[in-house]
Amino acid sequence: MKLFDAVDAVSRALSRYELNLGVTWYDAEGGLRRARLTERGRQYVKRLREPRDIARSTEYTYLGPAAEQISLPVES
């Protein structure tokens, strides 16, 4: 969770000024690695922050014998 909090903080700061971030580093084997945080990535992080009530919007299907199928809505 700490990693997400850090990404969230960077994402918010970049969004404030509509900036993108590009990072380059060397991996353990000496290879060059790159990552970017663009508008698309900032929007994804923003969606992850939004509260979700999965239980209310999900319907589970339970399958029994081949001739029987029951769908039950999830109750809160």
Per-residue confidence (pLDDT) for residue 65, from 0 to 100: 58
Q: What is the pLDDT of residues 30-50, one digit of tens each?
A: 999 999 999 999 998 888 888
| Burial call 33-63: b when 16+ CB within 10 Å, e when fewer | eeeebeeebbeebeeeeeeeeeeeeeeeeee
| pLDDT tens, N- to C-terminus, the chain (76 residues) | 687 888 889 999 999 999 999 999 999 999 999 999 999 999 988 888 888 765 555 565 656 555 445 555 655 5
Reported as type and span, the H/E element at residue 23 is: strand 21-26
Per-residue confidence (pLDDT) for residue 22, from 0 to 100: 93
Domain extents in the chain = 1-52
Beta-carbon-side half-sphere exposure of residue 1 (alpha carbons within 13 Å):
1
